[in-house]
């Protein structure tokens, strides 16, 4: 489908596929070595459960459904929008969990430093702080990143058995692969939707609408879920699902 898509979707799909191939080729034993070397151990500080420290969590579709089973009002479109059409509608690749709207942006399910849905927590929360994807560092150098928030939370240099390191490596890779596959589906679906409806991504409209949003205006957001878009109205601190 990539060749039939218009820009910027064609290039983004190709880039995402390259990243997926690189991920699948990353040596599992090398990742296990890094996990053992770091020796991360959670000290229950709960900093990773706040947007101030960690941004928002991206939910896979299965995660979103499990979260909804605990609280149907817990979801909102992911807060970093991917595209904006010429009419000012934003498009985003999925959902996140609402925050408590406190100064730290704590997760809605965080109570007294503990997760209310711990046994049913999203996949990203299960693998954190381990990660396996390429991103730029502070100087713009793109390389593999395997640990999030190194030396900023938790304890380090604890003993992690070899079999446990491989289990963590496999689980983390599975999440990263699922995330990239979700992103591919979103890009292809959005590119096709834009083509069929005569739409295009317009950066100036994106920037103008974001400024309006920053001043308190409501924006329309289409959240990708299970192969289709679900419409929302989002205003700072509030989000409501719209009829389709």
Tracing tokens 């069929």 back to the chain, one arrives at: 196
Distance of CA 120 to the CA centre of its chain: 18
Percent of the chain surpassing pLDDT 70: 99
Task: Work out the pLDDT band at 65, boundaries 50, 70, 90.
Answer: very high
Residue 49 has a pLDDT of 96
Residue 91 has a pLDDT of 98
Q: 3-state secondary structure string, 38-104?
A: HCCECCCCCHHHEHHHHCCCCECHHHHHHHHHHCCCCEEECCCCCEEECCCCEEECCEEECECCCCC
Q: What is the mean pLDDT of the chain?
A: 95
d(CA 162, CA 219): 49
Residue 139 has a pLDDT of 87
Task: Note the pLDDT tens digit of each residue in 170-202.
Answer: 999 999 999 999 999 999 999 999 999 999 999
Q: Across residues 221-235, what is the average pLDDT?
A: 98
Residue 137 has a pLDDT of 83
Percent of the chain surpassing pLDDT 90: 91
Task: Work out the pLDDT band at 236, boundaries 50, 70, 90.
Answer: confident
User: Among 92, 91, 86, 89, which Cα is nearest to 198's?
Assistant: 86
* Partners of 224 in the β-ladder: 229
């Amino acid at each position: 489908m990539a060749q039939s898509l218009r820009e910027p979707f064609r290039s983004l799909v190709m880039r995402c596929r390259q990243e997926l191939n690189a991920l699948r080729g990353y040596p599992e034993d090398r990742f296990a070595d890094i996990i053992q070397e770091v020796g991360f151990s959670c000290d229950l500080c709960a900093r990773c459960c706040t947007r101030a420290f960690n941004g928002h969590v991206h939910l896979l579709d299965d995660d979103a459904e499990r979260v909804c089973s605990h609280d149907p009002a817990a979801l909102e479109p992911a807060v970093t929008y991917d595209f904006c059409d010429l009419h000012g509608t934003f498009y985003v690749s999925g959902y996140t969990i609402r925050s408590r709207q406190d100064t730290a942006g704590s997760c809605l399910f965080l109570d007294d430093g503990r997760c209310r849905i711990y046994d049913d927590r999203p996949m990203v929360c299960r693998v954190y702080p381990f990660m396996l994807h390429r991103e730029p560092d502070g100087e713009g150098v793109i390389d593999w990143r395997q640990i999030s928030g190194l030396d900023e939370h938790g304890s380090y240099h604890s003993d992690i058995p070899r079999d446990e390191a491989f289990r963590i490596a496999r689980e983390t890779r599975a999440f990263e692969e699922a995330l990239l596959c979700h992103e591919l589906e979103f890009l292809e679906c959005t590119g096709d939707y834009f083509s069929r409806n005569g739409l295009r991504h317009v950066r100036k409209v994106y920037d103008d609408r974001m400024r309006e949003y920053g001043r308190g205006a409501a924006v329309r957001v289409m959240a990708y879920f299970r192969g289709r878009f679900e419409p929302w109205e989002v205003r700072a601190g509030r989000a409501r699902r719209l009829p389709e």
